[in-house]
Structure 1
């Protein structure tokens, strides 16, 4: 059986048919075209989808079609229907499988890419410039690679060329990948792309964008020294990956409360969190979204930052530091009041403070309070045992050693043990040093900390939002942290091996686009991206070659695979995606 026979058998099974269309020329003549089509239901409406254009009716190879019908009839065991005596078999030497590439996952991502108008936004940024390669397709391939099988740009180019079927992109190389990345971040292109994508996403998913959550992270580079000069991008700074020994960059991410990433930023590695919020505020304000409440963590809750967030009618929800000795914070925490139950693990209490229009909400998590108490008691028990061990060892050595040199050596060892305990990352906070130099457990600090078990303090400038919504809005800040976690793990944002600043920015932007597509797919299907990618990764485009040509046939979809495409509102890949007669 030839590849064309497989095509026509598929036509019988799925209801394909031949149809004609016509076009009228300026001179009044009519030209008719023959097409292979089938009907597909889209949103309850039956629509004709063209699978293959056979060409003009007056130039059609009718004998070839008759031979095709004859070969199909022989395969089905039916008699030939009036074929010419000189008709030759079309089957030839049969079919061979000459290739197979995964197509399901990348087809879903491509459908979401187009639905979110990312392709249109990129074409708008690129303008009327002509390129030898379709830059938009190359950028999509790099984004898809991040979401499916993240690797270096060289390996991604090979992956797109040999290991996956991407519509509109036969092949690409490393130079084309880097050129596309350079175009992505030139001038204000990245801001324009993010703005266009944001409004497309907000409209398509009907997102509530009155609450934006913002947080930062850092990612490091595999090199020993930072770059020279004040304008250097890869710099040493406070590493949230606990790699202070490596230079880094700082990344900011804004997400909706549904977890959809709407914008990403990138700064030099030594940038302080307190210095970047005005830029974030100005960039989001330029989108003219109307009333926006920005949710930030305790690292951004300085008075200057909070005042800046209120400019232009904006509002904030901010986590406040409870242990920095701020008199206002101490006043709020000391106020009495009754908690309001929000959820099983969350209670809230609003505190009004005279002289300010900022509202304060104390949140209490009973489960977290129990964990805090248990963790503290375990630490104190361990400290008491260590201090008692050092005390007994000191007394034993005093009576055991007769000469002064031995006593001095033993005392030095005990002091070293005490210093190690005082400098311990988690135990040292519960110790204080007496005037004699001995370490004691700080009972006053333990009592003060016990009052804060399971509590965190929020401040908001919005006079209308309820205390319950304030607490729940702040808890949604975990979505930004989940976005960073997925970018660093599933999408392999780190480690970064790029050297040039614009390439680093492009790499971060590609990871952001991949995260956006992944989150949209997760939100529409209600399942994890790992499950989606695993299921759709089993859908392949198989190349079948015979003596008469080659056809590319998509493996049939299972019910679960078809459900993913339906839930994401993406048309599944066609049964026959290519037909090349020999």
Structure 2
């Protein structure tokens, strides 16, 4: 497992390779400790997605200090895992989110920490509509199967194997599970007949959570809007991992020995640093080119070697286009010089 630390500007500064059976939550504190020893950092803000927050991790983060100040954090809350958020959100949702036409950001208190709630009405409508369509399709399937079961009992026959209540229950339960709707469509697995129930309370709760981002933070000097903006910058780190997997192609890794795996990861990390520096230079000059697009353009530069009939040889580069010359100037790199014939 590969861990990468980068600055708020997107520059990778540290990486580690962990054993594949190590949980993410156990790697955070040791990595932070190494970073604080290596760099003269005065303020650290840990931004993490929903996979990190647990009461144990929260307690560990609260105990850490950076110099004379506590470690600060912005952690996304896995709201669907904590029933205690229902009561907090119900009143906030009714007062601020119902009828909203643009993103609404508010603040609550949870276990002595700031709980930032961001509600995106467009995302909420999209999520609710998608869920309703999945529920409707499943209920139509259930109605069709139930109808066939009733008609079979009256003597009507269909092609293929005869349906049974147990078989239909198993098929419907799998369909509900695959659609991640088991908390709303409750299938009666222990009943001898095919039965299910739509949990209206669970559906209402799901609609209330739609479009919401919940963040726990201990940062006192940032507004709720700034906290949300900081958290959304986490997407830039995730883009770095996508670059490692796609453009740099860190996977698959055909190595077995630990030292070779770490060496390979180091090379890929250095490639990511170069990729990000290239991106920063393009951005500083307001260039419309992405690193990928620039690399596509400069890859067209070729080196040729020609052998003539008297065994004389000539070699050199293809002539740079104006586009290629401009790109080298934009990122402040010397143009490749022609090799003497």
The TM-score with structure 1 as length reference comes to 0.50
**Preserved CA contact (<8 Å) 1:261 1:516:** yes
Residue 272 (structure 1) aligned with residue 23 (structure 2)? yes
For residue 533 of structure 1, report the CA deviation from its aligned partner. Answer: 1.1
Label 1:518 to 1:319 Cα distance change in 2 as closer, same or farther (>3 A).
same
Q: Where do residues 219-368 of structure 1 align in structure 2 (5 Å cutoff)?
A: 250-286=1-37, 287-310=39-62, 311-312=64-65, 313-327=70-84, 329-336=85-92, 346-353=103-110, 356=112, 358-368=113-123
Residue 540 (structure 1) aligned with residue 302 (structure 2)? yes
For residue 319 of structure 1, report the CA deviation from its aligned partner. Answer: 0.3
Label 1:292 to 1:376 Cα distance change in 2 as closer, same or farther (>3 A).
same
Label 1:346 to 1:253 Cα distance change in 2 as closer, same or farther (>3 A).
farther
Residue 557 (structure 1) aligned with residue 320 (structure 2)? yes
Question: Aligned partners of 1:432 and 1:537: how far apart in 2?
Answer: 57
Question: Aligned partners of 2:196 and 2:175: how far apart in 1?
Answer: 9
For residue 386 of structure 1, report the CA deviation from its aligned partner. Answer: 1.4
Aligned length: 319
Question: Secondary structure of the residue that 2:279 maps to in structure 1?
Answer: helix
Aligned match of 1:475: 232
Question: Aligned partners of 1:426 and 1:386: how far apart in 2?
Answer: 16
Question: Aligned partners of 2:127 and 2:22: how far apart in 1?
Answer: 32
For residue 543 of structure 1, report the CA deviation from its aligned partner. Answer: 4.6
Label 1:486 to 1:468 Cα distance change in 2 as closer, same or farther (>3 A).
same
The TM-score with structure 2 as length reference comes to 0.83
Aligned match of 2:144: 389
Label 1:552 to 1:380 Cα distance change in 2 as closer, same or farther (>3 A).
same
Label 1:347 to 1:419 Cα distance change in 2 as closer, same or farther (>3 A).
closer
**Preserved CA contact (<8 Å) 2:138 2:176:** no
Aligned match of 1:574: 337
Question: Secondary structure of the residue that 1:423 maps to in structure 2?
Answer: helix
Label 1:339 to 1:284 Cα distance change in 2 as closer, same or farther (>3 A).
farther
For residue 474 of structure 1, report the CA deviation from its aligned partner. Answer: 0.8
For residue 557 of structure 1, report the CA deviation from its aligned partner. Answer: 2.6
Residue 512 (structure 1) aligned with residue 269 (structure 2)? yes
Moved more, 519-528 or 365-374: 519-528
Q: Where do residues 71-470 of structure 1 align in structure 2 (5 Å cutoff)?
A: 250-286=1-37, 287-310=39-62, 311-312=64-65, 313-327=70-84, 329-336=85-92, 346-353=103-110, 356=112, 358-400=113-155, 410-434=164-188, 437=191, 438-470=195-227
Question: Aligned partners of 2:259 and 2:50: how far apart in 1?
Answer: 30
For residue 518 of structure 1, report the CA deviation from its aligned partner. Answer: 1.2
For residue 446 of structure 1, report the CA deviation from its aligned partner. Answer: 0.7
CA deviations 1:71-95 (Å, max 9, x no partner) are xxxxxxxxxxxxxxxxxxxxxxxxx
**Preserved CA contact (<8 Å) 2:6 2:13:** yes
Label 1:457 to 1:560 Cα distance change in 2 as closer, same or farther (>3 A).
same
CA deviations 1:343-373 (Å, max 9, x no partner) are x9643112245x61x2111011222112101
Question: Aligned partners of 1:456 and 1:488: how far apart in 2?
Answer: 27
RMSD across aligned positions (CA): 3.0
Question: Aligned partners of 1:426 and 1:269: how far apart in 2?
Answer: 27
Question: 1 or 2 for the larger relative contact order (CA 8 Å, sep ≥6)?
Answer: 1
Label 1:425 to 1:262 Cα distance change in 2 as closer, same or farther (>3 A).
farther
For residue 551 of structure 1, report the CA deviation from its aligned partner. Answer: 7.2
Label 1:401 to 1:263 Cα distance change in 2 as closer, same or farther (>3 A).
same
Question: Aligned partners of 1:401 and 1:550: how far apart in 2?
Answer: 86
Unaligned runs of at least 5 residues, structure 1: 1-249
Label 1:389 to 1:488 Cα distance change in 2 as closer, same or farther (>3 A).
same
Between structure 1 and structure 2, the one with the greater Rg is 1
Label 1:258 to 1:371 Cα distance change in 2 as closer, same or farther (>3 A).
farther
For residue 259 of structure 1, report the CA deviation from its aligned partner. Answer: 2.8
Residue 488 (structure 1) aligned with residue 245 (structure 2)? yes
For residue 545 of structure 1, report the CA deviation from its aligned partner. Answer: 7.3
Aligned match of 1:50: none
Aligned pair partner of 2:292 in 520, 526, 530: 530
Question: Secondary structure of the residue that 2:73 maps to in structure 1?
Answer: strand
For residue 376 of structure 1, report the CA deviation from its aligned partner. Answer: 0.9
